[in-house]
Amino acid sequence: MSSKLWYLAIGAGAVGLSIVGAVAFLLPRSAPVPTTSTAQVVTHASPAQAMAASTPPASPTQAMAASMPPASPPATQFEAASEVLVVTSSSAAYAGPSADAPKFYPIKIGTPIQTVERSQDGKWKVALTENGQAVFVPAADLGPYTPSLPDDVRGQAKVIDTATLVVGRQQLALAGVTGEGGDYAQQLQALINSKGGTLRCQRQAAKYICDLSGVGDIARAALFNGAARPGPDAGEDYREQANAAQNAHRGIWR
């Protein structure tokens, strides 16, 4: 990937900061579904079977149709969706996106789960076990997770999108912004890594303002570079940074 140039908003001007490199994200692989073998049972033909065996051979069209494999049901499609949910009714971790799939283990009510994907039909969520195994959990068994949030969070940061981070072991949402994924998330991750990778975050209601050494408020920097949009809770300063990015045709405003 070519070098990315992010700018830091300082007063009315800007200072260039060269960012090199990108972060590769791995999507969970589909879980292998255990299979069972069925023993072949040989029986004597019934009178009806014997009569069917004596019927005339099928026509070429019938024979061709009989030789075609049965149509497979459409595969369940998934998309990336990282969120923390909690089990609200007795559930289980399945080997595949089907109630008929084998179960790995039950999941108790009240268990928080970090999901990484969701099915496009809204019926299934995908989570990863400690050894990286993908498991499938019915979406109907899950609900919003609302733990008590710490006032201060500090640690190494992983960018999920430009408004959602994991800092230390705490997933948090940045105040005042609506995030973007893809290249913009990778650029923000590269910016954080170039400054040591550590963020200091303070809670504002249910969201956070996070500072990066040498940069300051990273949500403000993302807005100024066109890597995020103002959220409903954005203040005047945040909206001014987004307007500056839009006027300069940076990021999403190109």
Please, where in the chain does CATH 2.40.50.90 lie?
149-253
Average pLDDT in the chain: 79
**127 or 46: whose pLDDT is higher?**
127
- pLDDT given for residue 6 in this prediction: 60
What does the alpha-carbon distance between residue 183 and residue 189 come to, in Å, rounded to a whole number? 10
Task: Kindly state the DSSP code that residue 141 receives in the 8-state scheme.
Answer: G
Class of domain 149-253: mainly beta
pTM: 0.48
Query: ∠ CA(113), CA(207), CA(140), 5° rounding?
Result: 30
| Burial per residue of 151-189, b for 16 or more beta-carbon CB atoms within 10 angstroms, e otherwise | eebbeebbbbbbbbbbbbeebbbbbbbbbbbeebbbbbb
Q: What was the pLDDT predicted at 144? A: 86
Q: Which fold has domain 78-144?
A: SH3 type barrels. (2.30.30)
pLDDT tens column, 73-102: 678 899 988 888 989 888 999 999 999 999
28-57 pLDDT per residue, tens: 344 444 444 433 333 444 444 544 455 555
Task: Report the alpha-carbon distance of residue 125 to residue 114 in Å, rounded.
Answer: 10
Band the pLDDT of 21: cuts 50, 70, 90. very low
